[in-house]
Amino acid sequence: RFLIGRISALGKGSIKPIRLNIASKGGDYRPVLELYDAISNCRAPVYGVVSMAYSGALVILQGCTLRIGRVGSLYLAEPARHELVVCVDPYTDSKLLSEITETHVSETLQPYVREMWQRAHIILLERVISAGKTEEDLHRLLRATPRILSTEEALEWGFIETVMYRP
């Protein structure tokens, strides 16, 4: 919440770029998507500089105006996970998905958790398509989880736009 408020405050009426250093192992998708929205809606340009962007942090990075990867950075592409759900993954057997969600999440929360995952998936899909890849390419990448990408691979997939060779 602090970071969301800080980005919103810095971006009000300002055109001075904000540098957001990202070194995160991810986290719950609710705050991830809230931070993505704050960055995307910020009036000032937000430059995301990555040393590590795992899971939800990779989604947050996509909200940045400019996405920069440091040499040697690591990126983890995986299906969205939620603290209450083992794995909400539409590529798994649907019966298994039902058993997992019914066991761990109330029926009221199931649509909410699926909606969060789908939104994160769409955010990543937009970047992958802009890099000339297809939705099927993204599905293959996510099925091979956990899949740690190098800086060069993140650039190839469109998750970052440029590489920073100096600190």
- Cβ atoms of 68 and 143 closer than 8 Å: no
Helices 135-143, 110-130: axis angle to 10 degrees equals: 120
Per-position DSSP letters for 43-91, written without gaps between them: SS-EEEEEEEEETHHHHHHTTSSEEEEEEEEEEEE----BTTBS---TT
Beta bridge partners of 149: 75
Q: How many Å apart are CA 49 and CA 3, to the nearest integer? A: 15
**Identity at 34, one-letter amino acid code:** E
* Triad 160, 162, 167: Cα angle to 5°: 110
> What does the DSSP 8-state code read for residue 24?
E
Query: Could you report the per-residue pLDDT of 78-89, keeping only the tens digit for each?
Result: 765 443 333 444
Beta bridge partners of 50: 22, 69
Please give the pLDDT value at position 115. 83
Q: Is the pLDDT reported for residue 22 higher than 80?
A: yes
Name the band, by pLDDT with cuts 50, 70 and 90, for residue 129.
Answer: very high
Judged against a pLDDT cut of 70, whether residue 124 lies above it is answered with yes
Buried b (16+ CB within 10 A) or exposed e, 76-105: bbbbbbbeebebbbeeeeeeebeebbeebb
Asked whether residue 64 carries a pLDDT value surpassing 90, the answer given is yes
pLDDT at 92 over 80: no
Mean pLDDT, the chain, rounded, equals 80
Alpha-carbon distance of 148 to 145, in angstroms, equals 8
Q: How many CA atoms lie within 13 A of 38 on its CB side?
A: 21
C-beta neighbour count of 2 within 10 angstroms: 6
